[in-house]
Amino acid sequence: MDRESNLNRAETFSFVNPWIRYFLFFFSFLFWVFSLLIVGIGVYAKVQKATDTVRDTFLIDPAVILIVVGVVMFFITFCGCIGALRENIRLLKTFSFTLTLVFLIQLVIAVLGFFHSDQTRDALGKFVKKAIVHYRDDLDLQNLMDYIQKEFKCCGWNNYTDWSWNLYFNCSQENPSSERCAVPYSCCTPVPGETVINTMCGFGIQTQQSQEVDGSIFSVGCADRAVLWIESHLLLVGALTLGLALPQIAGIVLSQILISQIQDEIASPF
C-alpha cells in the first residue's frame, strides 16, 4: 500500500510550479496582444498617410517607430508565451536573453542621458530639427510637434525662431510662402472661450522680438520646458520608469525560475 502511494506521488510530482508557468504565460500573452495592437496602429498610420514619407524622416516617423517597437515586443513575448506553455527551454532562454538585453540597453541609455545631459540634449535637438524641417511633409510628425508644443507650452527647440528651419516658415526674403516668418498655431497661447482655432495666429511672429511676442505665443523653447517639466514631475518620472522596469524584471526572473525548474524536471530520475 505504501509502495503504491509512493509511486502515485512520484507520478504526480513535478518540479515545475504551475503557478509560475501559467503566470508567465498570461503575462507574456497580455503583452503579446498589446504588441499586435501597436503594430496594427503603426501599419494603419503608415497606410493612411496622404503622401509618401520623405526618406530623411524614416527613422523619426512615429508610424515606423510604432511598427519597430511592436515587432520587437511581438518576438520577445511570443517566445515567452509559447516557451512557458510548452515548457520549451530554448524559447524561454531566448525570451530571457532578449528581455535582459532590452532592459540593459534602456538602462545604459538612461545612465548616459543622465551623466551626459549636454550630448543628450544635442541628440534630441537633431531629432526635433528634423521634425521641424519636415513638419509639412509628414502628417504624423506635424501632429506630434503640435502635441508637444501644446502640452509643454513651448515653441521650437531653442526658441520660436527655430521654425525658420522649415521651408514654409523660413524668414528669408526669397521665401514666397504665405507662412513666411510664421510659427504653427500650436505655438499660440490659447484664448479663453475661443471655440474656433485661429490657425493664422502665429503669422509674422518671427519678425518680432521675444519681449513683443510674450502673451501671443509660447516664446520659450521646448528644450528648456522639457527640463523644467522633468524637474517638477520627478515623482511621476520615477513612477513611469519603475512601471516600465518592473514588468521586464518580473519576466526575466520568472523565466529564469521556470528554466531552472524544467532543467530539474529533466534531470530527475523519476
Residue 204 lies in a domain: no
How far is C-alpha 198 from the chain's CA centre? Answer: 31
Determine the straight-line distance between the first and last CA of the chain, rounded to whole angstroms: 19
What is the pLDDT, as a whole number, of residue 184?
A: 94
Angle CA 208–190–196, to nearest 5: 110
Q: Which band of pLDDT confidence, cut at 50, 70 and 90, is reported for residue 20?
A: confident
* Domains: count for the chain: 1
What is the pLDDT, as a whole number, of residue 161?
A: 93
Q: Is the pLDDT of residue 135 over 80?
A: yes
For residue 18, give its domain range: 1-159+220-268
C-alpha cell at 82: 509559447
Give the residue with greater pLDDT, 10 vs 143.
Answer: 143
Residue 198 lies in a domain: no
Q: Is the pLDDT of residue 170 over 90?
A: yes
**What are residue 217's DSSP bridge partners?**
188, 214
Residues 6 or more apart in contact with residue 163 via CB below 8 angstroms: 132, 155, 156, 169, 182, 183, 184, 187, 206
Residue 173 lies in a domain: no
Average per-residue pLDDT for the chain = 84
Are residues 130 and 56 in contact, defined by beta-carbon separation less than 8 angstroms? Answer: yes
Long-range contacts of 234-241 (CB under 8 A, 24+ apart): 241/110
Rounded-to-integer distance, Cα 220 and Cα 199, Å: 20
What is the pLDDT, as a whole number, of residue 3?
A: 43
Q: Which of 15-19, 68-72, 134-138, 237-241 has the highest mean pLDDT?
A: 68-72
Report the percent of the chain where pLDDT is more than 70. Answer: 89
pLDDT tens digits, residue range 191-226? 877 777 788 888 999 988 878 888 889 988 999 898
Mean pLDDT of 71-83: 93
What is the pLDDT, as a whole number, of residue 10?
A: 44
Rounded-to-integer distance, Cα 221 and Cα 204, Å: 18
Residue 190 lies in a domain: no
Residue 77 lies in a domain: yes
What is the pLDDT, as a whole number, of residue 4?
A: 46
Are residues 148 and 154 in contact, defined by beta-carbon separation less than 8 angstroms? Answer: yes
**DSSP state letters, 142-207:** HHHHHHHHHHHT--SSSBGGGGGGSTTT--STT---TTTT---GGGBPPPTT--S--TTTTTTGGG
What is the pLDDT, as a whole number, of residue 270?
A: 58
Q: At what angle do helices 139-152 and 62-86 cross, to 10 degrees?
A: 90
What are the C-alpha distances in Å from 207 to residues 171, 180, 214, 239? 8, 10, 13, 42
Residue 213 lies in a domain: no
Rounded-to-integer distance, Cα 86 and Cα 141, Å: 42
Residue 169 lies in a domain: no
Q: Is 81 helix (H, G, I), strand (E, B) or coil?
A: helix
Q: Is the pLDDT of residue 138 over 70?
A: yes
Residue 178 lies in a domain: no
